[in-house]
Chain A
Amino acid sequence: MKKKLLVVEDEKNLCVLYKEELTKEGYKVMVATGADTALGLIKKQKFDLIITDIRMPIKNGIELITQIMALRKDIPIIINTAYQSYKHDFMTWAADAYVVKSASLDELKSKIKELLG
């Protein structure tokens, strides 16, 4: 069965890109453009992995991670942000991987593969 991913990203174009590219890799991909939408989805469905941005309006990725951990401890989470600097924020250490956004999605793809075994 296809593994199911959730991408949390407020940039609409990036959502389209991630959805297409990760679908090509053989995953079932859902996107949420905000943390609250994402939480709604996570409560209703089972995901195998979550990829989230950090800087998002209203609620940021770090708050989202904390709430996801409270809901489902075992979902692997990849932080995908334009910022290197959040690596120093120990709250991001709760995530399973930290991938800085890049024009090439190779690193992100290989991290997903690695985490899903």
Chain B
Amino acid sequence: MIERHHLLLHDFPPETSKELQLFSIIAQSFFQPFSLIDNLLVILTALTAGPGLGFNRAMLFLADGNKLKGEFWLGPASAAEADSIWRILSTPGIGYYEIIEHNRSLLTSDADSLTKRLKKISYPLHQENSLIPSVATSSKEIMLVKDAWNEPLVDRRFQEVIGVDEFLCIPLLAQEEVLGEIILDNAITRLPIQSRDIELASICGLFAGNYIYTAKLQKRIVEMKKVAAIGEMAMFVTHQLRNPLVTIGGFADQLLDPRTGAKKLKRNLQIIRSEIRRLEKILLRLTQFLRIEVKEMVPVDVQEMFKLVVNAVKPRAASRKVSITTEVEPGLSIILCDPIHVGEALRNVVDNALDALPGGGKIHLRAYRKNKEWTVISVQDTGKGIPESIKGKIFEAFVSTKEKSMGLGLAYVKRVMDACGGRIEVESAEDKGTIFKLCFKTGERGSKK
């Protein structure tokens, strides 16, 4: 027998321990497409939510270059505020998610006086004789500070801001990298910080450190990919433009030669004009690709779209001895999409299929319902298939097996499908053929996605 359970828990039975609930909420937040600050907010909220783990307030410092900067500070500013917040939060039916929402709205509001005060504080990192709080981060140690007003190692300015006698400093680390610090206190209840609190807080610190580390890596990867893509694009465009430019330059030089006769003059001007048109075409293709915007999804008659595409490629198909057939599932006639872009995308896929059939063959266009959720338009050819070497990157821009192609066709198709909330799939076997599937969400009319 197999029992199945949800990966993500939403409701906890009352007997679930606070610790388990806390860690579960934190772990689950990593699955959400939250921002870095949002996820840290979840961790700090869990540590300070009244009925939670016993801390009243939490402040977050993040390492930024060589500085440790105050980021935000969660918790009630006074006993009265604490009382009212905790009363709301203990209302039955209010869970962590509501508390997180509440804290998020606090952070963005102007009334949040704690964060405002904290944001003014920053400390240099890795400096000799540094004081608390930054010394916990640079020494990579958890520090519980008691009798803080009389402790010479506590920075006075910080002590004025935090204003409590006892607090806990948790450095945030991952892979030996210093990422920040969390500082926790019980300013309202004045309860002493217990060793159990320290253990739990330190685990939360590990979570937070690893999360910041991952988020930083991800950001770096996205940036690197962007730079690489821009570089690749710039290189490709440069080359695409170079041939026409060389031709124009060369023939223009000849025009400047007084010995050039009238006949040659005219010919050169014609060549120059045609090369300029080619340049224009290249730029047009590029701007089209860069500016795909799906404004509205409308019902489109698939039969009609098939007819348009087949008519458009007929002369090419005939010259290559390729027969094109279409098939629409009975009862299915309408799909929701952007007719212009999707029509163009389908045309691109069919053009590719034709390119794969230099010696003739068959192309079959089919529209069918895959399941309740997805409607599919497939394009199948009996061509040479996609070479294994580029299979993984056919949807990237500027990748092509054709020497004269800009490699924008399938990248365009993918962008259109993304913009329509759909997706594109491909199956290909060398020398057997390729099938492209444009999958559309069976959705509501008029919606953007």
Chain A positions within 8 Å of B, measured between CB atoms, are 10-11, 13-14, 16-17, 20-21, 55-57, 60, 82-83, 85, 101-105
Give chain A's interface secondary structure class: loop
Interface residues of chain B, those whose CB is within 8 Å of chain A, are: 235, 238-239, 242-243, 245-254, 271, 274-275, 402-404
Contacts of B242 in A (CB 8 A): 82, 101
CA distance A21 to B251 in the complex (A): 10
Alpha-carbon gap, A82 to B235, bound state (A): 10
Q: Would A82 and B250 count as touching, CB distance under 8 A?
A: no
Count of CB-CB pairs between chains A and B under 8 Å: 49
| Most chain B CB neighbours (cut-off 10 Å) among A20, A85, A102, A103 | A103
- Nearest A residue to B242 via CB reads A82
In the complex the two chains form, is A13's CB within 8 Å of B253's CB?
no
Given contacts A13-B271, A13-B275, A82-B239, contact A103 B246 (CB under 8 A): yes
A58 to chain B minimum Cβ distance, whole angstroms, is 8
Closest B residue to A53 using CB positions: B243
B404 lies within 8 A of A102 (CB): no
On whether the beta carbons of A60 and B243 are closer than 8 Å, the reply is no
A1–B274 Cα distance when bound, in Å, is 37
Query: Closest A-chain residue to B278, C-beta based?
Result: A13
Known interface pairs A20-B254, A85-B235; A14-B246 also in contact (CB < 8 Å):
yes
Nearest chain B residue, comparing its CB with the CB of A101: B246
Evaluate contact between B247 and A13: CB separation under 8 angstroms: yes
- Which residues does chain A contribute within 8 Å of B250, judged by CB atoms? 14, 17, 21, 103, 105
Please, how many angstroms separate the alpha-carbon atoms of A97 and B274 in the complex?
31
Chosen A-B contacts, 23 in total, with CB atoms closer than 8 Å, are A11-B243, A13-B251, A13-B274, A13-B275, A14-B243, A14-B247, A14-B250, A16-B271, A17-B247, A17-B254, A20-B254, A55-B403, A56-B403, A57-B402, A57-B403, A82-B238, A82-B242, A82-B246, A83-B239, A101-B243, A103-B246, A104-B253, A105-B250
Residue of B nearest to A105 (CB): B250
Roughly how many angstroms separate A16 CA and B268 CA in the complex, as a whole number? 10
CB distance from A85 to the nearest CB of B (A): 7
Q: How many angstroms between the C-alpha atoms of A105 and B247 in the bound complex? A: 10
Kindly state the separation between the CA atoms of A104 and B238 in the bound complex, as whole angstroms: 16
Contact partners of B404 in chain A: CB under 8 A: 57
Taking CB atoms, residues of chain B closer than 8 Å to A102 are 246, 249
How far is A17 from B248 in the complex, measured between Cα atoms in Å?
10
Bound-state CA distance A29–B271 (Å) is: 21
Not counting A13-B271, A14-B246, A57-B404, a sample of 7 additional A-B residue pairs whose C-beta atoms are within 8 angstroms of each other reads A13-B247, A17-B250, A17-B254, A56-B403, A85-B235, A103-B249, A103-B253
Bound together, the chains give a CA A104 to CA B246 distance in angstroms of: 7
CB distance from B256 to the nearest CB of A (A): 12
Closest to B250 in A: A17
Q: Shortest 10 CB-CB distances between A and B: which pairs? A: A103-B249, A82-B242, A17-B250, A82-B239, A101-B246, A57-B403, A13-B247, A13-B271, A55-B403, A103-B246
In-complex Cβ contact of A60 among B253, B254, B403 (8 A): B403
In Å, the complex CA distance between A10 and B402 comes to 14
Write the nearest CB–CB distance from B236 to chain A, whole angstroms. Answer: 10
In the bound assembly, the distance between CA atoms of A21 and B264 in angstroms comes to 13
B-chain residues with CB within 8 Å of residue A14 when the two chains form the complex: 243, 246-247, 250
Complex CA gap A21/B254 in Å reads 9
Q: How many whole Å from A22's CB to the nearest CB in chain B?
A: 11
A17–B235 contact, CB under 8 A?
no
- Taking CB as reference atom, which chain B residue is nearest A57? B403
